[in-house]
Amino acid sequence: MGERAPRVQGKGSGYGDRTVRSSGGQRSSSRKRREIPQRRMCRGRRTPAITLKAMTDLRSAPPSPLRADDHVRGPPSAPVVVVYADFTCPRCAVAHERLRDAPVRRVFRHLALRAKHPRAIALARAAEAAAAQGAFWPFHDALYADQGRQDDPHLWALVERLGLDLERFEADRRGDAAAARVERDTREALRAGAMHTPTLFLPGGRRLDGVPDAGLLG
**Three-class SS string for the chain?**
CCCCCCEEECCCCCCCCCCCCCCCCCCCCCHHHHHHHHHHHCCCCCCCCCCHHHHHHCCCCCCCCCCCCCEEECCCCCCEEEEEECCCCHHHHHHHHHHHCCCCEEEEEECCCCCCCCCHHHHHHHHHHHHCCCCHHHHHHHHHHCCCCCCHHHHHHHHHHCCCCHHHHHHHHCCHHHHHHHHHHHHHHHHCCCCCCCEEEECCCEEEECCCCHHHHC
Whether 90 is in a domain gets the answer: yes
Is 198 part of any domain? Answer: yes
Length of the chain: 218
Domain presence at residue 86:
yes
- CATH classification at residue 50: 3.40.30.10
Please tell me the predicted confidence (pLDDT) of residue 7: 54
Closest C-alpha among 170, 169, 155, 166 to residue 119: 155
pLDDT at position 43? 39
Q: What is the pTM of this model?
A: 0.72
| Residue 55, in any domain of the structure | yes
- All residue ranges of the chain with pLDDT < 70 are 1-60, 214-218
Q: What angle do CA 86, 89, 91 make, to 5 degrees?
A: 115
Residue 53 lies in a domain: yes
Instruction: Say if 102 falls within a structural domain.
Output: yes
pLDDT score for 6:
57
Instruction: Enumerate residues 6+ apart whose C-beta is below 8 A from 216.
Output: 8, 202, 208
Q: What is the pLDDT of residue 61?
A: 72
Cα atoms in the 13 Å half-sphere on the side-chain side of 48: 29
Tell me whether residue 47 is in a domain: yes
pLDDT given at position 9: 52
Please tell me the total count of domains within the chain: 1
Expressed as residue numbers, the domain containing 38 is 28-62+71-217
5 in any annotated domain:
no
